[in-house]
Amino acid sequence: MAEVFEVALPLRRPFVTSFGATTTRRTVLVHLVGVDGAEGWGEAAALDHPFYLPDTTSSTFAVVTEWALPAALEAGPDPGSVARALEPIRGNTFARAGVEAAFWCLEAVRSGSSLAELFAYGGGGGQAVASASRAPLRLAAPVGESIGISETIEETLDEVQLCLAEGYQRVKLKIKPGWDLELVAAVREAVGEEVMLQVDANGAYSTDESDLSRLERLDEYGLACIEQPLAWDDIMGHSDLQRRIKTPICLDECLRSPRDVHRALALGACRNVNLKPGRVGGISASLAIHDVCRAQGVPLWCGGMLESGIGRAINLALCALPGVSDPADMSPASVLYEWDLIDPTYEV
Ligand code: OSB
Ligand code: MG
C-alpha cells in the first residue's frame, strides 16, 4: 500500500532569506506499507514557492503521485532498483528523493539496520558508499545553525550569541547585498576569530562589478565559505568569482545532480559542497556525490530544507558517513515548528 500526503507545518516564525520570507511550510510525505506490515516514510521537501528552485510543493506532489511513485512501485522494493527506475525523470529532484527515501526506510526496517548503516555498507540493491568499506560510523554529527535575515544587526547578534551558548559548532548567516559586510564584521568582532562562520546568499548577487567587489571584501573575515553567492544556475560565474576571491565558494542551488558536482569541481566553481538529498535527486545520488567529494578532499556537509523529522532522519544518517566533514544545518524541529511529525522528535 502506498499513500501520499501534503502536510502544512506551522513555522514558529518566518524564515527570511534573500529570496523572501518563508511563513508557511507545506511538505509532501510518502508512506509505504508492505504485505509484511513493514512501513517506510519519505519526505519530498520542496518549498511552497519557486524562489529557491523551480520545484514547489504542488509540482512535487503532482510528480510523486503521477510519475515517481508508480515507477518506483513497479521497480521496487529494493532501493537501488527504485533509484534506477526514477532516473528517466528529469529534474523534479525533490519528488524523486522523497519516493526513494521511503524505500530506503522500508529496507532499513526489514533488514534491522539503521539508515546510516545501510548508506555506508549497502542495502539489498548493493548501493553503498564506495569509500566507506567497514569504517566505523559517527555516532553524533556536529551541527551548525542557519540564521535568517532580521531587522537589525543587534537582533542577529543576540541570535548568534544564543546559538553559540546552546553549543552549535558553526554559524551560518543569511546575507544579501546591503545585509552583508557590516553584519559579518559585527558578528566576527563579537564571536572572535575561532568560531566557524559562513554566509549564504541564496543567489542574491549579480555579476556586476559592484556586487563582485562586495563579495571580494568578505575575504577579510575568515569565513569557512560563501554559499551560493550568484544565480541558481550560474556555474561559470562562480568559477570566475572563485578565481578572484580567497574564501571557498560553497554551491547549493547550482548542484542538482552528481554530474553538476563533477562539472562544478572541474571548473573550479566551488571548493565546498552543500549536500541536500532532495536537491540532488535522492540518496543514491547523495552517495555518489559523497564519494566524489571524499576522493577529492572537498569539504562536504549536509544542508537542510526545514524538513520535518522524517526528512531530517535521512540527513542525519548521511551525516554519519566518513566524507561528511563539516557541521550540518539541522536546527531542531522544536525551534522551527509548533510540533514535529515524529515522536519523539530528534534532538540537537
Ligand atoms: O539555502 O540552505 C538554504 C532552508 C530552506 C531553503 C534553503 C536553505 C535553507 C536553510 C536551512 O538555510 C536550514 C535548515 O533546514 O535548518
Ligand atoms: Mg543555501
Tell me: the pLDDT tens digits for 252-273? 999 999 999 999 999 999 999 9
Spans of the chain, pLDDT less than 50 = none
Distance CA 193, CA 175 (A): 20
Whether 302 and 315 have beta carbons less than 8 Å apart is answered as yes
Choice from 9, 11, 12, 15 to test ligand 1 binding pocket (greatest atom count within 8 A of CB): 15
Return the pLDDT at 125. Answer: 53
Q: Whose CA is nearest to atom 14 of ligand 1?
A: 304
For 286-313, the pLDDT digits (tens) are 999 999 999 999 999 999 999 999 999 9
Return the pLDDT at 22. Answer: 86
192 grid coordinates:
572572535
The minimum-distance atom of ligand 1 relative to the CA of 200 is 1
Q: Whose CA is nearest to atom 9 of ligand 1?
A: 305
Return the pLDDT at 130. Answer: 59
For 162-201, the pLDDT digits (tens) are 999 999 999 999 999 999 999 999 999 999 999 999 999 9
- For 51, the 3-state DSSP assignment is coil
The pTM is what? 0.95
The minimum-distance atom of ligand 1 relative to the CA of 202 is 1
Q: Strand 143-147 to strand 328-329: parallel, antiparallel, or no bridges (unpaired)?
A: parallel
The minimum-distance atom of ligand 1 relative to the CA of 329 is 16
Give me the torsion for CA of 338, 340, 345, 348, rounded to 10°.
Answer: -60
As for ligand 1, residues whose beta carbon falls within 6 Å of it are 47, 52, 146, 200, 202, 252, 303-306, 329, 331
Q: What is the 252 CA–ligand 2 centroid distance (Å)?
A: 5
Ligand nearest to the CA of 52: 1
Partnered with residue 145 across adjacent β-strands are 171
- Whether 176 is catalytic is no
At how many degrees (to 10) do helices 235-244 and 258-266 cross?
A: 40
Q: What is the 201 CA–ligand 2 centroid distance (Å)?
A: 7
Return the pLDDT at 128. Answer: 66
Q: What is the 52 CA–ligand 1 centroid distance (Å)?
A: 10
215 grid coordinates:
563579495
Q: Strand 20-33 to strand 2-17: parallel, antiparallel, or no bridges (unpaired)?
A: antiparallel
324 grid coordinates:
561528511
The minimum-distance atom of ligand 1 relative to the CA of 145 is 16
Angle subtended at Cα 266 by Cα 56 and Cα 255, rounded to the nearest 5 degrees: 10
Distance CA 31, CA 99 (A): 9
Q: Report DSSP letters for 4-65, one per residue.
A: EEEEEEEEEEEEEETTEEEEEEEEEEEEEE-TTS-EEEEEE---SSTTSSS--HHHHHHHII
Q: Whose CA is nearest to atom 5 of ligand 1?
A: 305
Give which of 283, 274, 288 is closest to 106, Cα–Cα: 283
Return the pLDDT at 137. Answer: 78
Return the pLDDT at 123. Answer: 62
Ligand nearest to the CA of 145: 1
Distance CA 157, CA 140 (A): 27
Q: What is the 52 CA–ligand 2 centroid distance (Å)?
A: 9
Angle subtended at Cα 93 by Cα 124 and Cα 64, rounded to the nearest 5 degrees: 80
Rounded to the nearest integer, the mean pLDDT of the chain is 94
- Whether 276 is catalytic is yes
Distance CA 143, CA 162 (A): 14
Q: What is the 322 CA–ligand 2 centroid distance (Å)?
A: 22
Partnered with residue 174 across adjacent β-strands are 200
